[in-house]
Structure 1
């Protein structure tokens, strides 16, 4: 389990670590709420989210433990399980607003920490994590490692007023590749290789979303404007001029058709996607292996 310990005192951080060692494999430390929030965002952006955060109420900086919990829940798609420590007694009315819509387990411990009670809470987290691991397999495509369509749609619904552009990508003549070279020996290798090429030109760290939409289709939502999205599409196309090298040593020529659309005003992601899909259709009808920007 990936554990973030947030406390302004080094000795306190080590005490907490000693209590969490039974379930922790990776420990990360922060002394301020701002640093902790930045770590949480970076880890989630890299698809290695923090799974448990133990934070003190009193922190350096502007974010105390309660507000850190609130911002974590607001800004992260997969907020970690939360354990809060405080040297003061916290009345439930003071902190329950933080957990009103909290999907994860949260416990509050007054210092000095009751070790027995703390370990019970940690066991609750461990059991919940086991259940989550069973569900996590549905978040990522088992072949390419990209987000599944369902997971991508969940992320897309969280986009508010930010500008974004969508690339809808399809592998040309994919059925022919499967027929001539074999689905498992070539087709799967092509799908994985194309996914890797797309990932190399897109940045999940800034909120970009990459998904295997289904079959040989890929969906990319870039948190940027049309010129940058078109440039990324061109770089992806440029990379495809080199043959796809499979694990068995074969090199196959593969091309892509790409439709691009950018958000206009308050458009929903579904509206933008519809235009990107139309752009992809136009690219296919125009001879494939090209990029078409939707009006």
Structure 2
């Protein structure tokens, strides 16, 4: 296969691709031969209004560069919107080969001040949105016995960050969703992987800076462009990645990481079982050497990006 056309003949849907990481993924997919559905509701950062401009603009960029693209403006947060998004790919191009679940919002607030609305808004777009679009696409993939899903997770969920309980819960939930899809759909030739991107984007610019840790995190992110994330995603959508599924990757400027997945690290056992006192006196002292610290993403990724 010509490396310059790694997605030649494929139809790819990218949610939230009117700007930021999604835009660069859509542009690179188009440059590598994919017919692209550019989805974006065009809402402001605080969720108000809708604007067809961002999706239309990216679709036009792809076409101006010699590619093929259509725009869609539905929301991933509701199943009806997800159905219309997938239908737009089928109507325009006859089939669907790949989905990038990238749409997202932030509603950062310290946990004890978080409202149910702030919780729901983030879960609906990130976690429900990834499920909604993937579920509709899965029917198409099953029928054609092939398909690739790439879901955007985050080190906020994989490691942790301050004032992001809603976002962290959604992003770690996406990891479980992706693994379940990979297990359930592999017999139909469907792959599902996660990517945790480090990149400065419009959504990330909404991070509240109320601590030294957050300031350090934002400073690092400002050095990283969304375009750095796109090559891995394009690869995962391609036929070159047919053996790659159920994995969690991370892109940080010029670095690509493979993340571990939760597995037992240490155990203790008593033949007669445990009393609470024995747990306190014996189990916890034995296990505590392997405890994880209350670190945040910036603690783990503490070196400057290459």
Computing the radius of gyration from Cα coordinates, the structure with the larger value is 1
Same fold (TM over 0.5): no
